Structure 1
Amino acid sequence: MASHVITLNVEPRGKRIRKLPKELQVPANTSGQEIYASLAQATGYSIHRLRITKGVDKTVVPNSKDKTLEDVGLENNSLVHVKDLGPQAGWRTVYIIEYFGPLVIPALILYGLRPYIYFNFDKPIPEPSSLQALICSLLTVHFLKRELETIFVHRFSSATMPARNIFKNCAHYWFLAGLNIAYWVFRPDAAAASDEPNTILFYSGLALFAFGEIANLNAHLVLRGLRKPGSTERGIPRGFGFGLVTCPNYMFEVIAWIGIYLLSGLSWSVLLFLIVGTTQMAIWARGKERRYRKEFGDKYKAKKFTMLPPIV
């Protein structure tokens, strides 16, 4: 049976949107995805650039084929607001760009640019130590793993993010993880320049890095299995580490970077990146715990620690 037609009153939220219709007449069983597609076609904007909210309570109308207007409480003459989110970039694209910097910068500084960057040291500038070469290789492995996970493993709940995030994310990774770490750790007078590194720091750092990277990959594979291709729905994650904290992938990431910190001879530059990254991941982990509790209710076993017991 055909659904009755309703009229939605449409208003921009924030700045004016060119060609945005004032009214939209659609069947009541129209899906949220179809509403987004209709408004995207009318305005000439990407479907991912628009956010539609209900005028009565400001809740978002989901861009989903499984939710109809009736499901979200929209009726005849209901008001909806449409916000222009600005230029968008794909999550996968942003991640590939941001990881590319620290993937190539360490090798460039250690080998190709070494005589130009460390020009003020006595000549001839010594060759990189075996430990510096190892750290460079591990950094390459870490960020190459990130790139491959971005391309082949990760499934994103949103298709895009604001394009301006490219610059913010690149500033974090290209400068803090790339230039900052590589310049100081690969200096001819750095602790890692020694051919006789501290044995305890060396082997414990290597072990932590290897464990953290492998366990982090496993956690990402678990998370991938929770979401079907093309779907934004999530399941409750279970597996190694997930019974202990909300986001073991973040925990294992930190463990891997502690390994790099020990291998570097306790370089302050690695510690700085570790502190900044851990702080940001802790914020994300708390947010994810709140979302899990709200989304899954009693089905979800609430976690006392979200990332690093017994700290956070």
Structure 2
Amino acid sequence: MASKPIALTVEPRGKRIPKLPKETSIYLQGSASDLYDRIARDANFSVHRLRITNKNDGKPIANDKKTSVSSVGLENGSVIQVKDLGPQIAWRTVFIIEYLGPLLIHPVLLLLRPYIYRNPNLLTAYPPPSTLQLLTCWTITLHFLKRELETLFVHRFSNATMPVQNIFKNSFHYWILAGVLIAAVVYSPISATAATNTNPLLTYIGLALYVLGELGNLNTHLVLRSLRSPGGAERGVPKGLGFDWVTCPNYLFETLAWAGILVISRSWSTGIFVAVATAQMAVWARKKESRYRKELGGTYERKRFSMIPGVW
């Protein structure tokens, strides 16, 4: 005989959702994703704005097709709380907007360089951009072009959306720090990058670090992509280049690529962005190690270092 659906009491949590039902029903064998879809449909509300919590234990219920209603502790008569997370924006859209800033700012500012920087004594333009200035522009532009292409064709996101207000904070990091700050300083005719009598060995080292970092980062993203089905939120055990060293080799190789750009540009402005970005990735890497340990259990070989071997 088929099982009967269980009845759940529905309570709002925080901001009011006008058409939120006071109760709903769901099969124990149903998925948490089914529960989210039912609540969203009944409330005529975007499912991406909802967070459902089991009131009994206070734990959020993930919108996951592979998580059953019974496995999250719900039973007949249980109370669930539904919260409006506010306006959301797709992660893919966020990434495209973030990376578009520096992708456009660097070549445009370099192109407009003769009109921005004038020689106050001679009233004429400074000499053309140096080799290091051109290399800095090319490496940063290609880096963010790669990021855009990965966003469109490689990345698979575990969460569909994020709060819309976060885009302003994230865009500041890329548009201002990686875009305006680096470009305005590096392409100045009086910057260290404008010098012509530079050490070519340093330049070759910087280019080597950059290429190695970009290729290693791309490889890591392809490995991570292979672990998640289209539209899925599952996590697999990552293996391959770098994963035996640290939890997040993508952040390791990202840092390596930016270290190469720093060597090429020889600029304090690049150093500021690299320091901020590395610190943020270090926090994300530590959190990722914690999630792997919690979600993958014994199938995951714990790492001592989450991002940089022997350091962090």
Q: TM-score range by the shorter chain?
A: over 0.9
Deviation at 1:56, TM superposition (A): 0.5
Partner of 1:160: 161
Deviation at 1:173, TM superposition (A): 0.1
CA distance in 2, matches of 1:291, 1:168: 24
CA distance in 2, matches of 1:220, 1:183: 31
Partner of 2:181: 180
CA distance in 2, matches of 1:131, 1:203: 11
Deviation at 1:196, TM superposition (A): 2.5
Deviation at 1:82, TM superposition (A): 0.3
Deviation at 1:120, TM superposition (A): 6.3
CA distance in 2, matches of 1:300, 1:65: 22
Q: 8 Å contact 2:118–2:125 — kept in the other structure? A: no
CA distance in 2, matches of 1:4, 1:102: 56
Distance 1:121 1:4, change over 3 A: farther
Partner of 1:274: 274
CA distance in 2, matches of 1:5, 1:244: 48
The 5-angstrom pairing of residues 250-289 of structure 1 reads 250-265=251-266, 267-289=267-289
Larger mean CA deviation between 27-36 and 251-260 belongs to 27-36
CA distance in 2, matches of 1:5, 1:252: 50
Partner of 1:80: 80
Larger mean CA deviation between 151-160 and 197-206 belongs to 197-206
- Normalising by the residue count of structure 1, what TM-score does the alignment of the two structures yield? 0.96
Helix, strand or coil at the partner of 2:8: strand
Q: Structure 1: which 5+ runs fail to align?
A: none
Partner of 1:4: 4
CA distance in 2, matches of 1:170, 1:149: 18
Structure 1 letter corresponding to 2:249: P
Q: 8 Å contact 2:48–2:160 — kept in the other structure? A: yes
The 5-angstrom pairing of residues 1-312 of structure 1 reads 1-112=1-112, 114-119=113-118, 121-122=120-121, 123-265=124-266, 267-312=267-312
Helix, strand or coil at the partner of 2:89: strand
Structure 2 letter corresponding to 1:301: E
CA-to-partner distance for each residue in 1:177-208, whole Å, 9 max, x for gaps? 00000110110011111222222321110110
CA distance in 2, matches of 1:35, 1:56: 17
Helix, strand or coil at the partner of 2:297: helix
Deviation at 1:118, TM superposition (A): 2.1
Structure 2 letter corresponding to 1:214: L
CA distance in 2, matches of 1:226, 1:130: 41
CA distance in 2, matches of 1:228, 1:153: 12
RMSD over aligned CA atoms reads 1.4
CA distance in 1, matches of 2:148, 2:305: 28
CA distance in 1, matches of 2:45, 2:120: 55
Helix, strand or coil at the partner of 1:51: strand
CA-to-partner distance for each residue in 1:245-291, whole Å, 9 max, x for gaps? 010110000011010111112x1100000000000000000001111
CA-to-partner distance for each residue in 1:26-62, whole Å, 9 max, x for gaps? 3333322122112112222211110101001111223
Structure 1 letter corresponding to 2:246: V
CA distance in 2, matches of 1:35, 1:298: 29
Deviation at 1:76, TM superposition (A): 1.3
CA distance in 1, matches of 2:98, 2:5: 47
Distance 1:284 1:17, change over 3 A: same
Q: Structure 2: which 5+ runs fail to align?
A: none
Q: 8 Å contact 2:117–2:125 — kept in the other structure? A: no
CA distance in 1, matches of 2:110, 2:130: 10
CA distance in 1, matches of 2:287, 2:27: 36
Deviation at 1:65, TM superposition (A): 2.7
Deviation at 1:119, TM superposition (A): 4.0
